[in-house]
Amino acid sequence: MPETEVSFAARPADLGAALAALREQLGELQLPQIAHGRRAIVLLEGLPGAAKKAVVRQLAAAFDPCHFVVHSTAYDRRETSEGHWLSRFWRQLPSAGNTAIFFRSWYRRVLDDRVLGRTPEQMVPRVFDEINEFEAQQRDYGTLLVKLYFDVSADVQEQRLARRRLNPWRSRSAEAEFIRADDIAYQRALEELRANTDTRWSPWRTIDADDEQQAALAAIEFIAEAWSRAMPSEPPQLVNAPNLAQSG
C-alpha cells in the first residue's frame, strides 16, 4: 500500500488561529471517546529534529490531561533480558476512554536500532511480522491507531540540532544516537518499514516537517479527522435507567 503524502495547498495564513481552532475541535472530539470508553494510540515517528515535539505540545493543549499520557521511547538495553521486546509497550497501552501518545515507538527496533547494529538483520522480517500482528490486535480490540512519520531534510535537521547544542540543557540530547536524515542505511531501513508496515488496518501518514508550524498543523488536522471518523457521534444510552414516571 503506498504511503499517503500531505499537501499544504491552500493553508490558512494565520497558522496560530488555525491551530487553536483544531485544538478546540480535537478537545470536543475527545468527549465521545471518553464517554464511550474508546481507546486511541497516536504514534509519532521520525529522527531527532523532525518537529515531533511541536505536535506533542499541540496535543497536550487540546486533550483533557486526565485522559492521555505521553510515552517517550528510547533505546532500552534491558529489554532483551525482560521477555518479549514488545512487552514494555503492552504495559503502556491505553485503558478505556484514554489515549496513549508514543513519542517514538516500537518502530525504533527496525529504524535506529537496526541502523546502529542493535537489531540483527536476520531478525528484521520477524520483527515486522510481530509489529503487524500487534497492531492488528489493537484494531481488533477497537483501538484507534494513528501513525505519523515526520520527514525532515538533512539540512533542516542539522540546523535544529545545532540550535540545541547551543543550549547547555539540551546539548546532550542533540548528540545522543545522532543519525542524519540522509543516511543511506537509515533511508533503506525506512523504505523497508513503509513497504512492510503500511497496512490496511494501520496505514502511515507522512508529514513534511521542514516547516515546524505547517507540520504541526498538518498532523493535528489529520488526527482530528481520524477522531471524527472513529468516534461515535451520539452520547451513550443509559442502561437500565430508572423509570422516573413510575417511581413518582
The reported pLDDT for the residue numbered 78 is 67
pTM: 0.87
Q: What's the mean pLDDT when you consider all of the chain?
A: 88
> Residue 81's pLDDT band (boundaries 50, 70, 90)?
low
Q: Which residue has the cell 539540512?
A: 155
The reported pLDDT for the residue numbered 88 is 92
The reported pLDDT for the residue numbered 167 is 85
The reported pLDDT for the residue numbered 121 is 97
Q: What is the mean pLDDT of residues 153-178?
A: 82
The reported pLDDT for the residue numbered 25 is 96
DSSP secondary structure string, the chain?
Answer: -PPEEP--TT--S-HHHHHHHHHHHHHHHHHHHHHHT--EEEEEE--TTSSHHHHHHHHHHHS-GGGEEEEE----GGGGGSSSTTHHHHTT---TT-EEEEES-GGGGGTHHHHTT-S-GGGHHHHHHHHHHHHHHHHHTT-EEEEEEEE--HHHHHHHHHHHHTSTTTHHHHHTT---TT-HHHHHHHHHHHHHH--SSS-EEEEE-SSHHHHHHHHHHHHHHHHHHHS-SSPPPPSS---HHHH-
> Residue 108's pLDDT band (boundaries 50, 70, 90)?
very high
Residue 29 has pLDDT above 50, yes or no: yes
